[in-house]
Amino acid sequence: DGCPNKEYCRQTFIQMWSRYHRPGSEEAVSPDPYALKPRSLPTVIPEPERLIAIGDLHGDYSKAMRALRVAGLIDTNGDWNAGKTVAVQVGDILDRGDSELRLLITLERLQRQAAAAGGRFHLLNGNHEVMNAFGDHRYGTVGSNVDIMAWQLWRDFNTLMKMKSGCRLSSSAAASSLAAGGRPVPFAQAATPTTKAKDISSNTGDVTKDEYFEEYDEADPIARRKAAISSAWSTHNYRFYNGYSRPFSWIRSVAYEPGGPIARRFFANRQIVLQVGSTVFAHGGLHPEHVATGLEKINAETQDWLLGNGEGGSNLLAAAKSRFASAANPSSAASSKSSHHQQQQQRPATTPPPEYLRSREAVVWARTYSSEKQAHCDCERLQRTLQMLPNAKRMVVGHTIQRTGVNTACDGKVVRVDVGLSKGCTDGNVEVLEVLAGGTVRKLQENLPPVELENGEGKRVRGVAMKETAVKGMGK
């Protein structure tokens, strides 16, 4: 109403909106790009002429872009430039760095561009995506949290502008960003904890769910989440303290929870495990019991959990509507505290992820094949796992930082691609894996020649002298 030239404001908003969403994509014309749009997740795809694997990125945008350039996937403008190449990023885009949202949006755009060019860019979920979806934000940075807050304000602004322009809002958009009365509700109003956390840093024992609710207001959704973490993960008290000591960590819970806007748009449409021809990908590692469970089942059930379709997640929309209605009618909300607490107790906390995402042996947590000491790698279990998967010759994993860069173990049957790339980790050298038709397996390095690796068929590493030359070149 304060705009002196409404037509100019309308045109400016349209231009801003279209540029932000990169015209030509499905999301560019969607009334809400964060609406519920589950996609079928392929588990096995054919062998491509060229396959690229990229390790953990952990919120470091500049290093991620350098890795994509080393892989030959993008041009100088940051657009897909690899034709029919198939690329797989093994997960852990979140945490330890400030550029989580920028990476999520950029990689999603590259996925669309790759598909349009006849290629594919698959993004897997790692243990840090699972942790954040379940409310464990220990490794989220203040910078990334501020980004998430700004993102929500941007969404509120877009929603308000669409309403002012007479656009019809989807129910998910209204439920996630508007209060009754047609005004955006910022996170600070919608989900700020109602009770201050006490200082529990001096405690030594675990806090049970009941004890936690005795100390904190049961109407606090963040208290509910932390209690759920304690119950499901047997977490130590310092995690609770850490959740309150890190500014804006509670904002992550609202955005990343199963059924939340970021979980729906980004995480729910990613696999946990993927087989590309003869190469199997998993963030931590696959075991025979995982294969026996069924790879399609693992992907489908994880997607269902991230969409909020579990016992707890199914109530997210109703909970949001109830919270916003209370904000609009504070007198009615405060009319009966005991009744309100009773309703909160009946609402289950966030549903834990499936078991194969939670234990030390989980697909996203396992380190069975990742030790830099060959004697500590369970090559026999790896061999049994690969034999259970048709045509599988090798497994590619991330999760565990390799100080020597991309390398192989178990006669090339496992390739470890987590090089600690992010500055929030070890600021490792930029390296990616390349698998070519015909069986050639090599690591690509920034400003250094490729190094051929064992290919999973007992082929010896070729060119030891070339490796030594590359190491010398790094020291210059």
Query: H-type helices in 234-377, by residue range?
Result: 237-245, 249-256, 261-262, 288-293, 295-306, 316-328, 330-333, 337-346
**Cα gap 216→222, rounded to integer Å:** 10
Q: Cα–chain-centroid distance for residue 348? A: 24
CB 308 within 8 A of CB 263: yes
**Cα gap 27→31, rounded to integer Å:** 8
Q: Which of 21, 58, 128, 399 is catalytic?
A: 128
CB atoms within 10 A of CB 231: 16
For 464, the token pair is 């030891």
Inter-CA distances, 396 with 274, 275, 327, 409, Å: 10, 10, 49, 11
Inter-CA distances, 407 with 33, 215, 403, Å: 39, 49, 10
Please give the helix or strand (H or E) that residue 12 lies within, else none. helix 6-20
287-291 contact pairs (CB < 8 A, 24+): 287/361, 287/366, 287/368, 287/381, 287/385, 288/381, 288/384, 288/385, 288/388, 289/361, 290/356, 290/363, 290/385, 291/385, 291/388, 291/389
Q: Say whether 137 is catalytic.
A: no
Residues with catalytic roles = 128
